[in-house]
Chain A
Amino acid sequence: MMDENYNFSFLDERTKKMIRRAMLKAVAIPGYQVPFGSREMPFAYGWGTGGVQVTASIIGRDDILKVIDQGADDTTNAVNIRRFFARTTGVATTEKTTAASIIQTRHRIPETALKEGQIMVYQVPMPEPLFRLEPHRRETITMHALAEYGLMNVKLYEDIAQLGAISKTYDYPVLVNERYLTSPSPIPKFDNPKMHMNPALQLFGAGREKRIYAIPPYTAVRSLDFEDHPFEVQRWDHACALCGAVDSFLDEMIVDDAGSRLFVCSDSDYCGERRDTGHAGTQQAVKMPDVLARAVAEGAR
């Protein structure tokens, strides 16, 4: 049931029009951060106000909405946002990736490949990929204009020189359409390859920072790397304990105080679908090495 006290999807039509204009510009210049008049929403800043404004501006009565947080539909913030749209639009919601026309997400891209016509809406805390290196937006705007990204390359190089690996594991910087350095939002780098040439439209909303950007369908998205240190994604030594998947991003749970960990798919819809079609994992937790006990034993020896 739609709440009749508010306009459809909460925002007034003129605001939606303003946001859609920003999105059109964003689609025309892939990866470029378009400033927009972000509104104060009945959600706290940092809790998805940008994604909510993007979704509110594109959603129509025939849409089917899926909202995920950490890959799952049932995390409290995802539940809250889904209920907000159910209440202010009355549109159908779903947990199925394949059934959704709009997927609003925080921190993950679904494991199931997206299709043409689907729209991914990302909640973005920090749209500026250079913010840790140069906090002044006045400066970074110029760097983007000149495609001057040496700072980021040096940072990645220094990571390798000091640590032996690039320390970015999520929000891993990408170059969109070989032009704009862009934040993929804090998705794990595991998901970065899914952005490349994706048939779905990808929209990014940063409410607090007042920026919108986009990756149109079938756009090249390259994760920064070096010839001798090619980009790699995360790998686990374990399969999902529930569905046995070896190709999905796994969440880790501490199940006791004796070093047992349970690894399960972070994408709850993907995991459920697999189990429904007969896949099964070991149903077992994994024992992690107890380094402290070993150190004590070695010390005694």
Chain B
Amino acid sequence: MYVAVKGGAAAIEASWRLLAAQRRGDTSVPPLSVVQIREQLPLAVDRVMSEGSLYDPELAALAIKQAGGDLVEAIFLLRAYRTTLPRFGYSLPMDTARMALTRRVSATFKDVPGGQVLGATYDYTQRLLDFALLAEGDGDDAPGPPADAAQALPDHMPRINELMAREGLMEIPQPGAQEPPGDLTRDPLMFPADRPLRLQALARGDEGWLLALGYSTQRGYANSHPFAGEIRRGKVSVEIQADELGFAIDIGEVELTECQMINQFAGNREHPPQFTQGYGLAFGGAERKSMAMALVDRSLRARELGELATSPAQDEEFVLSHADSLEASGFVQHLKLPHYVDFQSELELVRKLRAAHAQEKLAGQAEQGAGQAVTTIQKAA
């Protein structure tokens, strides 16, 4: 006799306890603190803040701890918290030319005003496992003091695109500053979307998705001839205009990585040829993300620039509808949920069709048999 499966609630509670045990691991090992994660896994924290759309290193570190290092799950936790926060308004546009730089490279000019600043990068590390880090103990992996800067960095380092725009070589982006920007966390994304909305969607988009799409444009699926005009990383002040004050006030700073790609020029009879650009921006140290974002931003401008849209990376609905890691992760994994009813419906149909198929085959054989009998009789006659 069958007894219906009960106890979903008890199973869920038991699952919570198992999850906590999985997160904690071997209890003879000291627990990881949120401060340690914030300080020692800064790039994980940065990614969670970027895709979680919330600049709060402490909460991002907490989310990483709670998620056992699953960054997409950590992003989910941060987003679910973010949605409950009140919003006070918009900041003034940030001026990244006034960024306190820790890194700045241009791949288009050998030297630029303000110079090239290599900063912290994995690019030239040779990627050999550093077994010294395996050694237990505190303090022994503390790095030496940073090298002195060859020269003091100026407060204001103009962006290379601006220098080119001055000569007319670079398109000047039209910010549409008069219109309040859309907000895709408040209103559904509808297509076609304008560039500010597209950039919002890309900024909180999944790094892996942008990376793969950006890469596809480099392999002939919508080539946009990119050059890394400038990549810069550093802290920028956030200012808001308080209504009752009438002037801007500084409410703190955020660390950003910005990438400005210089792309394929365009021109026609009316307009002399000009380079175009793609833009990428993410919280913290996020060079891979912001570079990929800039490639995808540029490829999504196909329609605006009168290019033939032939590749996935140029189809804004395809790119933006699938960019959000939470939407993708949730919907892929919802396949774990019971689908007994739908599957039963399919089973019923397949069984019915198979029965009809078998009957038709039988009828066909009988007919064939009857035909053969007739031939025999005719022969006999």
Q: Is the CB of B2 within 8 A of A241?
A: yes
Which residues in window 311-336 of B have CB below 8 A to A?
317-318, 321, 326-327, 329-334
Among B2, B5, B80, B329, chain A packs the most CB atoms within 10 A around the CB of B2
Please determine whether A40 and B79 come into contact, CB atoms closer than 8 angstroms. Answer: yes
- Judge if B308 is at the interface, Cβ distance under 8 Å: no
B352 at the interface (CB under 8 A from A): yes
The 8 A CB mask of A188-203 against B (1 = contact, 0 = none) is 1110000000000000
Please tell me if the beta carbons of A169 and B2 are within 8 angstroms of each other in the complex. Answer: no
Residues of A within 8 A of B76 (CB): 44
- Name A46's contact: one of B331, B340, B341, B352 (CB within 8 Å): B331
Q: Is B342 a contact partner of A188 (Cβ separation < 8 A)? A: yes
Stretch at the interface among A54-62, A72-80, A146-154, A173-181: A72-80
Bitwise interface map of A from 24 to 50 toward B, beta carbon under 8 Å scored 1, else 0 = 000000000001111111101111010
Bound state CA distance, A167 and B190, in angstroms? Answer: 31
Q: A76-B11, A108-B341 are in contact. Are A37 and B347 (CB under 8 A)?
A: no
**What class of interface size applies to chain B in its complex with A?**
35 or more
Stretch at the interface among B23-31, B117-125, B180-188: B180-188
Interface membership of A208, Cβ < 8 A? yes
B342 pairs with A170, CB closer than 8 A: yes
A210 to B2, Cβ gap below 8 A? Answer: no
Q: Name the residue on A nearest B326 (C-beta).
A: A45
Q: B interface, by DSSP: helix, strand, loop or mixed?
A: helix
Are the CB atoms of A74 and B345 closer together than 8 Å? no
CA of A37 to CA of B332 in the docked complex: distance in angstroms? 22
Q: Mark B176-216, 1 if CB is under 8 A from A, else 0.
A: 00000000011111111000000000000000000000000
Distance, CA A158 to CA B84, complexed state (A): 48
Nearest CB on A from B66, distance (A): 13
User: Closest approach, in angstroms, between the C-beta of A294 and any C-beta of chain B?
Assistant: 11
- Size class of the contact patch on chain A: 35 or more
Interface pair A44/B333, CB less than 8 Å apart: yes
| Chain B residues whose C-beta falls within 8 Å of the C-beta of A78 in the assembled complex | 8
In the complex the two chains form, is B341's CB within 8 Å of A45's CB?
Answer: no
Q: Is the CB of A79 within 8 A of B12?
A: yes
A165 to chain B, nearest CB (A): 6
B2-A255 in contact (CB<8A): yes
Complexed CA–CA distance, A79 and B187 (Å): 30
Show 23 residue pairs from A and B whose CB-CB distance is below 8 angstroms, ordered by the A residue: A40-B82, A40-B83, A45-B330, A46-B333, A46-B334, A69-B337, A69-B338, A70-B340, A74-B6, A75-B8, A76-B12, A77-B338, A107-B341, A135-B317, A135-B318, A164-B356, A169-B342, A169-B349, A170-B346, A188-B341, A190-B345, A208-B331, A253-B2
Question: Interface residues, chain A, CB within 8 Å of chain B?
Answer: 6, 12, 35-42, 44-47, 49, 69-72, 74-80, 83, 106-108, 125, 135-138, 163-165, 167, 169-171, 186-190, 208, 210-211, 234-236, 241-242, 249-253, 255, 262, 264, 266, 268, 283, 285
